[in-house]
Amino acid sequence: MVNSITRREAGFLMSAGIAQGQSGPRVTVVGAGAFGGWTALHLLRAGARVTLVDSYGPGNSRASSGGETRITRAAYEDRVYADLTLRALEIWKESERKWNRKIFTPCGVVRLEGKASTGAAKLLKVLKDSGAPHRHLTAAEATKQFPQFDFTRVESVIWEPKHGLLRARQGCQAVRDAFEAEGGKFEQRALKPGDRVEADAVVWACGPWLGKLFPGLVPVKPTRQEVFFFGTPPGETIYDEQHMPCFIDDAEPDAHYYGTPGNDFRGLKLGDDAYGPDFDPDRGERRFTESMYAKIRAYLKFRFPKMAAAPLVETRVCQYEVSPDAHLILDKHPSEAKYWIAGGGSGHGYKLGAAVGERLSEMVLGKRAIDPFFSLARFKK
Ligand SMILES: Cc1cc2nc3c(=O)[nH]c(=O)nc-3n(C[C@H](O)[C@H](O)[C@H](O)COP(=O)(O)OP(=O)(O)OC[C@H]3O[C@@H](n4cnc5c(N)ncnc54)[C@H](O)[C@@H]3O)c2cc1C
């Protein structure tokens, strides 16, 4: 725990007209992705003197937060994620207004549930308990509401009309821009554990690189994930973000696809949520594989039959940064007193970033306890 400044002190600094962060603890945040960028900005606003560094830049093409879009949803089996998502969305909306930048598109999100889906009751309970607006539709109701989909083998659909998509790389860059505008220092450079850093605390928010940086301690594994964009018919608008929701397809027992509408005219985006093979985020070549392309094309034909002949217009290869239980890691390093670790988004971290950064900044400043649910110690049990 670093020397924390109190709210009163932070308030005094502001009311005295002294730039925030001139006398607070010095914190270096390594990694300007969804977790690190927001952590740095929240720390700065709480009065710390913050340096944010990233080897390749915020939302770069190798980062897990790179690329165009990420889905937000409160439909989780664990309440903590619904709370984080809802808080993060609040932060994004406030920030959009303040920065005059468009990051969130409220196109809604649907989750397709089949006979074999086991989690629907838990998801509905969490949605209800957390107060997240939602509706539970029959397949017939969903067919009327969302003509883009063929709901074959779908039993019901959970619809969250207030969620949607976040612009991923643009979001990271907007956070970095706000961070600099508010007095933070950003540097494009690589750091590694053991490097000399003039700081009271160092937050390692290095996404898929965490396992490499802390071998034997942080069990985060990068997995190769492919994403495909299909071109919509000329003049057709039903697949764009004004008319179509994001979706997560859990209707089949052993296949889990997701997608987003064609934001910014990029075409319908589809991906397979199953963890791919191990991947090196620094050196890995980002070319799609024929086998995944064939799988995704078959899925396109099945779920979006009117798009069956659509041409492939773009592809991306990214990586998930997977922890053993797919839950986040937000904890102190067990032996390096100054170090904090943030990561393990496991394919669902982006939407949480704004709220994760808020919590983590409070933890680093000694204002919030470490949550055992996100601790490193859970992997030792
Ligand atoms: C295809 C795909 C689809 C996804 N879909 C969703 C979705 O729909 N919804 C959702 O919420 N999440 C989704 N995710 C997951 C989400 O994007 C990630 O969990 C999240 O972006 C991780 O953010 P991060 O800040 O932990 O990591 P990153 O974004 O990878 O950031 C880490 C940063 O650290 C930097 N760095 C690493 N090592 C060093 C070093 N030594 N020195 C300096 N800098 C360093 C890197 O350059 C990088 O910028 C998806 C991910 C992928 C790949």
Q: pLDDT tens for residues 48-67? A: 999 999 999 999 999 999 99
What is the percentage of the chain residues whose pLDDT exceeds 90?
91
Q: What is the pLDDT of residue 144?
A: 97
Q: How confident is residue 115, by pLDDT bands cut at 50, 70 and 90?
A: confident
CA of 236 to the centre of ligand 1 (A): 33
Model-wide pTM > 0.75: yes
CA of 34 to the centre of ligand 1 (A): 6
CA of 172 to the centre of ligand 1 (A): 10
Q: What is the arithmetic mean of pLDDT over 197-212? A: 98
Q: What is the pLDDT of residue 14?
A: 35
Dist. CA 284–CA 214, nearest whole Å: 20
Q: What is the pLDDT of residue 22?
A: 63
Q: What is the pLDDT of residue 67?
A: 96
pLDDT in tens, 316-369: 999 999 999 999 999 999 999 999 999 999 999 999 999 999 999 999 999 999
Dist. CA 62–CA 286, nearest whole Å: 9
Let me know if the fold of 7-64+168-220+325-380 is the same as that of 105-165+221-320.
no
Nearest CA to ligand 1 atom 26: 207
Please check the confidence at residue 7 and state whether its pLDDT lies above 70. Answer: no
CA of 306 to the centre of ligand 1 (A): 33
CA of 225 to the centre of ligand 1 (A): 12
> In testing the pocket of ligand 1, which one of 30, 65, 204, 319 has its CB within 8 Å of the most ligand atoms?
65
Please check the confidence at residue 13 and state whether its pLDDT lies above 70. Answer: no
20 within ligand 1 shell (Cβ under 6 A): no
Q: Which two tokens stand for residue 296?
A: 């995704």
Q: How confident is residue 12, by pLDDT bands cut at 50, 70 and 90?
A: very low
Q: Are 262 and 232 in contact (CB under 8 A)?
A: yes
34 within ligand 1 shell (Cβ under 6 A): yes
pLDDT in tens, 209-230: 999 999 999 999 999 999 999 9
Please check the confidence at residue 120 and state whether its pLDDT lies above 80. Answer: yes
CA of 234 to the centre of ligand 1 (A): 34
Of the two residues 372 and 253, the one the predictor is more confident about is: 372
Q: What is the pLDDT of residue 318?
A: 98
Q: What is the pLDDT of residue 181?
A: 98
Q: How confident is residue 109, by pLDDT bands cut at 50, 70 and 90?
A: very high
CA of 13 to the centre of ligand 1 (A): 34
Number of the ligand 1 atom closest to the C-alpha atom of 189: 43
Q: Are 343 and 321 in contact (CB under 8 A)?
A: yes
Q: What letter does residue 233 receive in the DSSP assignment?
A: P
Say whether domain 7-64+168-220+325-380 belongs to CATH 3.90.1300.10.
Answer: no
Q: What is the pLDDT of residue 213?
A: 98
What is the percentage of the chain residues whose pLDDT exceeds 70?
94
CA of 145 to the centre of ligand 1 (A): 33
30 within ligand 1 shell (Cβ under 6 A): yes
Dist. CA 21–CA 67, nearest whole Å: 32
Q: Give domain limits for the chain.
A: 7-64+168-220+325-380, 105-165+221-320
Q: What is the arithmetic mean of pLDDT over 2-18? A: 34
350 within ligand 1 shell (Cβ under 6 A): yes
Please check the confidence at residue 4 and state whether its pLDDT lies above 50. Answer: no
Please check the confidence at residue 248 and state whether its pLDDT lies above 90. Answer: yes
> Among candidates 276, 272, 172, 287, which has minimal Cα distance to 222?
276
85 within ligand 1 shell (Cβ under 6 A): no
Q: Decide: helix, strand or coil at residue 172.
A: helix
Q: Decide: helix, strand or coil at residue 293.
A: helix
CATH of 105-165+221-320 given 3.30.9.10, 3.60.15.10, 1.10.730.10, 1.10.760.10: 3.30.9.10
**186: which strand partners?**
52
Say if residue 17 is exposed, middle or buried (CB neighbours under 10 Å; 0-12, 13-18, 19+). exposed
Please check the confidence at residue 20 and state whether its pLDDT lies above 80. Answer: no
Please check the confidence at residue 267 and state whether its pLDDT lies above 50. Answer: yes
349 within ligand 1 shell (Cβ under 6 A): yes
279 within ligand 1 shell (Cβ under 6 A): no
